[in-house]
Amino acid sequence: MIVVVAPPLNQQRADGGRHTLVNIAHYRLMVLMLLFAAGVTVILARLMLLAVAAEPRSAIAAEAALVPLRGDLVDRNGAPLARTIDAWSIAVRPDKVIGDKKQLAEQLAALMPDHDAAYYYTQLNLDRGFVYLRRRALPELVQAVNALGEPGIALGREPERLYPQSAMAAHALGYLDMDGRGVRGMEKFLNARLVDPAERGRPVALSLDLRVQAALESELANAMAVFQARGAGGIVLDSDTGEVIAMTSLPTFNPNHVTANTGQMNTVTQGVYELGSAFKPLTMAAALDTGVVPSLSKRYDATQPLAVGGFRIRDDHAQKRWLNIPETLVHSSNIATARIADEMGQSRMEKLFRSLHFDAAPDIQLEKSRTIWPHYWGRTTTMTTAYGHGIAVTPLHLASAYAALVNGGIWRPATMLKLKPGQAPAGSRVFSEATSAKMRGLLRLVVTDGTGRKAEAPGFRVGGKTGTAETVGAGGGYSKKVNVSTFAAVFPMDRPRYVVIAMLDSPKGTKETFGFTSAAWTAAPVVSRVISRTGPLLGVIPDANADIDIAGLRGLLWHAPGDAKKLANVE
């Protein structure tokens, strides 16, 4: 007998309810997981979209975080000249200041004494939302200002241009405006290159050598102080390539702190001067090339002042005899040089100066000024320009001319950019190679036996020429007491490579110079010290036995008793 037992009706209903609840829970869990997955997918898609298509919120974002906002400037050896850094700034939001503004102004003046309390009080009351008080602030100053506890003070980080060498080479480097654009110097010339995203990661190498720059600046600054000169300028130029190895203009300024009163004129490229007897070797070279002077032994009458155009051309150290070419340069005779120029004539003298680009602004990437070119080329002008009067050029013009004078006769434009080997421009021929060789000997003779004795740097075979020109007085005419003293040098003369120009504007005599202000006493010693300090840095090793042969030229000189002592007083 089989008995079938059925479960109670209530138990069946309970088991069915449990299955239903489990199914509902599984369904809800799946829906929740799908919603979570969808949310994650949306977030990931959004992040990918932002990564691909979104624009950076500022210039510091994206690639700017890895590449500087503005390219660096370095010297020819890689030493930093200008770079962009992340600096502190101190600003104020005048409408957010809650404290006593007068008290705050006094506190700010105590921390930042470059302005007084009245200035800061004015800034705190300006009708603006944001006013800078100090940019490129030191962390210590930022911490002290923050300690004032004023909510209206805003401290921030922003890109700033830093010139780590301070005022060194300031006129060559230039600086930026408040918007980060180059407004002077190489900063202006290279502005597009330095901000180009594709290029700004690579520094630009300038032609300058900081070691030579430091020596030139310190020696000129010392001379300017000793002689109480109004200004000074100097340049070291590679005569083979036209590269500017050093350039100094005094007074200078600090590009890290440019003010409205900053003296920014570059005397080397913008100052135009009558450079005096430094022109005489150029005249001699042209006379040799044209055949006006067929031989160095040819003599010219310097027995008495030369009357021309209503005035008389005189010599500072009159020999009162006939002079040949070496003697004309050694004794710096205006009279003999004027007679040579008179034989040359207006057209050939003008051609000489035009071939040296004296009729235009200097060829350089910096700010520059046009020369003062004679309006009328009469006989008087032809004669006076031969010894550096009646025409005004920049010291850079003179440096490029002397480079052509000694490098074989080729004029090349000057450049502030470092050139690769073989990259020097072809230039244009101004003097023949034979004439250039003769001029090297004559320039060396001026230093060994003439007015340039104080420019000698033992072992470096220096050649050069003095130039002392009277300045134009306030009432017109030339001043007998104020001059521009210049020395143009080249070294080493057995293998000319570097031109060194030193110029002092309105120097005053001292006890050591016996009151003399001529270039022989003021500018020539500067050149001597610069060459002695920088020669080894430039690869020129001093050698007492290596020199150019000037024995033949010395044989053409006639020395009167006491000449050696008197020549020191000549320009």
What is residue 96's three-state secondary structure? helix
Active-site residue, 355 included: no
The encoded tokens of residue 353 equal 């100066």
Angle between helices 395-406 and 433-449 (to 10 degrees): 110
DSSP state of 476: S
> Which member of 277, 333, 400, 485 is catalytic?
277
Long-range contacts of 252-259, Cβ-Cβ distance < 8 Å, separation of 24 or more? 252/167, 252/170, 252/171, 252/217, 253/167, 253/170, 254/163, 254/166, 254/167, 254/170, 255/82, 255/161, 255/163, 255/167, 255/170, 255/173, 255/174, 255/175, 256/136, 256/162, 256/163, 256/166, 258/175
Angle between helices 395-406 and 280-290 (to 10 degrees): 40
**b/e per residue, 291-319, with b = 16+ CB within 10 A?**
ebbeebeeebebeeebebeeeebebbeeb
Beta-carbon contacts of 223 under 8 Å, excluding residues fewer than 6 positions away, are 229, 232, 502, 504, 507, 522, 523, 525, 526
- Give the whole-angstrom CA distance, residue 256 versus residue 137: 11
At residue 475, what are phi and psi to the nearest 5 degrees?
-95, 15
Peptide bond into 139 cis (omega under 30): no
Peptide bond into 492 cis (omega under 30): yes
Longest dimension (CA), the chain: 168
Strand partners, 247: 235
Beta-carbon contacts of 412 under 8 Å, excluding residues fewer than 6 positions away, are 241, 242, 400, 403, 404, 424, 425, 427
DSSP state of 410: E
- Give the whole-angstrom CA distance, residue 142 versus residue 146: 6
Residue 276 in contact with residue 388, Cβ under 8 Å? yes
> What is the β-pairing status of strands 498-505 and 478-491?
antiparallel
Angle, alpha carbons 558-561-563 (nearest 5°): 70
Element housing 358 (H / E): none
Q: Which residues are catalytic?
A: 277
